[in-house]
Amino acid sequence: MESNATLNISGLTSSNRLLGKVALLIGGGGRIGVETASRFLREGANVTLVDIIPEALEVAVLSLKDAVLVQHSKTARILTIVADVTLEAEVEAYTKKTVQTFGRLDCVFLNAGISYRSIILTSSIAGLRGTPGLILYSGSKFALRGLALTAASELGSYGIRVNTIHPSVLTHTSGVDGPMFRNAWSPEKLEELKRCMPLGRFAQVDDVAGVVVFLASEDSKFMTGGFLKVDGGCVSF
């Protein structure tokens, strides 16, 4: 794990649903990570961004400066850490550093987000129905749903909630323009799918981020074992 940095930010909040909370975002340099971090900050939370690519974290911090009002403050609201999440020692190190910096840890979002009070697993609409051409991908996403249901029944007595979110195709580089979807579906097929969607478009990163913030907040405190579609009605037809 490499050195880390903090950024002093004071941002306008939407409703202070996460005021005083601390969120750890794995893959924090990606587009979903940055958008989710922005939403957490606006809701009053402090955030740690973890990514294996230092340049991605640098870009993320610049993006978040634009997303929230920057003021000089003695309280750092963003901590960035370069780490490999496949190494147990580094996972322990950045978790410990987060608690040392902010004094607590309430939510961890892995883009399959694991929280100390709420586990949020990012699946897909491919985890709700069969998807031709995506047999391995679809199978892995169905597995996440089974994992969530089992974990919800096992962890409920500890006050830990487990839910899955199921986005449709995302309009960014790992979504519509990603090689997995280009190989599975032609541009014509994607346009046909878009036309059939009740809301007439694919999901965007802020659509996903808003649902993650909801599941991390007390607004969802009696929800567990559930699944939330972020699909514009795609699975309704």
Catalytic residues: 137, 141
Edge-first strand listing for the sheet containing 161-167: 118-122, 161-167, 227-230
Report how far residue 6's alpha carbon sits from residue 61's, in angstroms, rounded to the nearest whole number: 10
Strands 4-7 and 78-82, bridge-based pairing? antiparallel
Burial of 3 (0-12, 13-18, 19+ CB in 10 A): exposed
- E strand intervals along 12-67: 22-26, 46-51
Q: How far apart, in Å, are the Cα atoms of 24 and each of 4, 115, 139, 174?
A: 14, 9, 28, 22
3-state secondary structure of 83: coil
